[in-house]
Amino acid sequence: MSSCLGLYIEENIIKYAKVSKDNDIIKIDSFGIKFYDKLHDAIEQVIEETYSYKTPISINLSNENYNYFYVFNLLAKKDIKSFIKTEFESYCYEKDLNVDTFENRYVLVDDIEDKEKLKAIHISANKGELAKKAELLSRYKLIAISPVAIDISNLLEITKSDNVENIVIVNIENTTTVTTIIEQKIYDITQIDTGVGEILAKINLKENSYAKSYEICKNSTIYTSQGKELQYEENAYLDDIMPTLYNIVGKVKKIINDSLNKIDKIYITGTASVINNVDIYFQEYLGDIKCEILRPYFIKSVGTEINIKDYIEVNSAIALAMQGIGEGLQGVNFKKESLTDKLPEWMSIEVGGKNKKPSDKPSILSKLKLGGDGGFNFSLKGEITGLEKGLIRRSSRNNFVMFNIWWSIFSII
């Protein structure tokens, strides 16, 4: 059974979801939202509460940029890669950007307008920001840093029906991303600067608490134009909510109108999905296109004690965790595999150890832990088992072999 902890991190808020997969059955083991002043402390709390000291972790990419390049589909794979690299270098030159400061990934899809070409969805992220994210979780098993705008499609069920719908996912977090899916393939990603971050900031000026501002959004109900007279009597905070939503829905409508393909359905997700009737509000402005709140396909509406809306709040974190267990597009991971990632699990060091059950005979391996000052504490108290003796011998042999290999390499250099 594989498992992954998804962490969606934004300013002042962390959404988390621990997802496991056993054969084809996916389930959510734990999830929640935390507001923080100190990010590092908040992450440690999430790790501890979800017992994820050794669980693989997947987090979101931040401030990424999307560009689109078009290549002929008859080109060899290496030529396509070279062409896209050249195109991005030209883009950086035009924008007066240093190309060496970016890490890049891309996804290829068929170009709808020209069947002889491929469309490259090019994603770039600042190497400095990636390093900071990796450092933030250096004590844990970080396996993926990927863009939520792509991962969010993991929540949709892939069907083999001939009647495939074209879909738009509007993910309204601090900022908004609009992911267009044509024939079950991601075809376009549009970023909108406006999002819930703007709403929370306005309410926070009055309440001086992001947690309370979030709860106000969660308990707010918006109406269609027919019920406009009622809404301001019930909730004075709608003056802070409605202008932002109106701006977003207007831009989404333009994206759909500019699309060369008929859009059949719109899914709304992100923090804004907690606002009651937000889907009805979108429906009014977008006409005949069906609007729904995005629900992970594997979560059933019956047979669970947890409100479906509680799951939906952390959709971004669920999508990231699903990416970590092998769902979705795997080529968009910005986390570079390090030497420690390649080590077998028995050679890894347990951090914290609070998720381990006590035993009558503590093993030596359980006594190796990270000290509070960053140093190592190693105790030889307790009985050494036969397994531990074998592991120690194996470790010694491996270390001796690795030492000789590296010594030879450095000697040659």
What pTM value is reported for the model? 0.80
Residue 24 resides in a domain: no
Q: Quick one: pLDDT at residue 307? A: 72
273 and 171 housed in the same domain: yes
Residue 339 resides in a domain: no
- What domain count does the chain have? 2
Q: Which two tokens stand for residue 268?
A: 């709304």
Last residue of a domain, one of 241, 269, 293: 293
171 and 259 housed in the same domain: yes
Residue 10 resides in a domain: no
Q: Quick one: pLDDT at residue 8? A: 97
The runs of H, that is alpha helices, within 259-348 are 278-286, 308-313, 315-324
β-bridge pairing 142-146 and 57-60: parallel
* Neighbour-count burial of 345, counting CB atoms closer than 10 A to its CB (0-12 exposed, 13-18 middle, 19+ buried): exposed
289 and 364 housed in the same domain: no
Distance CA 6, CA 19 (A): 8
Last residue of a domain, one of 259, 275, 293: 293
What does the DSSP 8-state code read for residue 221?
Answer: B
**Do residues 324 and 55 lie in contact, with contact meaning Cβ atoms separated by under 8 Å?**
no
Last residue of a domain, one of 293, 308, 342: 293
| pLDDT tens sequence for the chain (413 residues) | 799 999 999 988 999 999 999 988 999 999 999 999 999 999 999 999 999 999 999 999 999 999 999 999 889 999 999 999 999 999 999 999 999 999 999 999 999 888 899 999 999 999 999 999 999 999 999 999 999 999 999 999 877 666 788 999 999 999 999 999 998 899 999 999 999 999 999 999 999 999 999 999 999 988 776 655 555 456 678 899 999 999 999 999 999 999 888 999 999 999 999 999 999 999 999 888 999 999 999 887 544 556 777 889 999 999 999 999 999 888 899 998 765 555 554 444 444 444 444 443 333 333 333 333 333 333 344 455 555 556 666 666 666 667 777 777 777 87
196 and 275 housed in the same domain: yes
162 and 275 housed in the same domain: yes
189 and 284 housed in the same domain: yes
Distance CA 185, CA 158 (A): 10
* Neighbour-count burial of 251, counting CB atoms closer than 10 A to its CB (0-12 exposed, 13-18 middle, 19+ buried): middle
Q: Which domain holds residue 275?
A: 157-293
283 and 376 housed in the same domain: no
Phi, psi of 167 (to 5 degrees): -130, 145
The runs of H, that is alpha helices, within 97-226 are 127-136, 148-151, 196-207, 210-218
**Do residues 143 and 56 lie in contact, with contact meaning Cβ atoms separated by under 8 Å?**
yes
Q: Which DSSP string do the residues of 329-393 spell out, in sequence order? A: -GGG--PPP-TGGGS-GGGSPPSS-TTSPP-SS--TGGG-EE-TTS-EE----SPPPHHHHHHHH
Work out whether the CA dihedral 396, 402, 404, 406 comes out positive or negative: negative
Residue 25 resides in a domain: no
165 and 241 housed in the same domain: yes
Residue 372 resides in a domain: yes
Q: The domain that contains 187 carries what CATH number? A: 3.30.420.40
Residue 262 resides in a domain: yes
Q: Which two tokens stand for residue 88?
A: 């991005």
